Amino acid sequence: MRINWGSERHRNVSFFEELKRRNVIRVAGLYVVGSWLIVQVATTILPMFESLTWLPRATVILLAISTTCRTSALKHKKESDAALAELVKKFGTSWPYNVAYVYAWRGEKGLAFKDLDIAHNEQDPGLSDVAAEPFFHNIRDDARWLPMMRKLGKAPEHLAAIKFDVKVPTT
**Domain locations in the chain?**
1-48
CB 158 within 8 A of CB 150: yes
Q: How far apart are CA 165 and CA 32, in angstroms?
A: 49
Span 153-171, average pLDDT: 85
pLDDT of amino acid 54: 62
Percent of the chain with pLDDT over 70: 65
What do you get for the CA distance between the two ends of the chain, in Å? 74
Please provide the size of the chain in residues.
Answer: 171
Interacting residues of 148 by C-beta distance below 8 A, sequence separation 6+: 113, 116, 117
Q: How far apart are CA 146 and CA 131, in angstroms?
A: 10
DSSP 168: P
pLDDT of amino acid 62: 66
User: pLDDT class for 120, splitting at 50, 70, 90?
Assistant: very high
Quick: pLDDT tens for 93-107. 778 888 888 888 888
Span 45-73, average pLDDT: 62
User: pLDDT class for 72, splitting at 50, 70, 90?
Assistant: low
pTM (predicted TM-score): 0.54
pLDDT of amino acid 65: 64
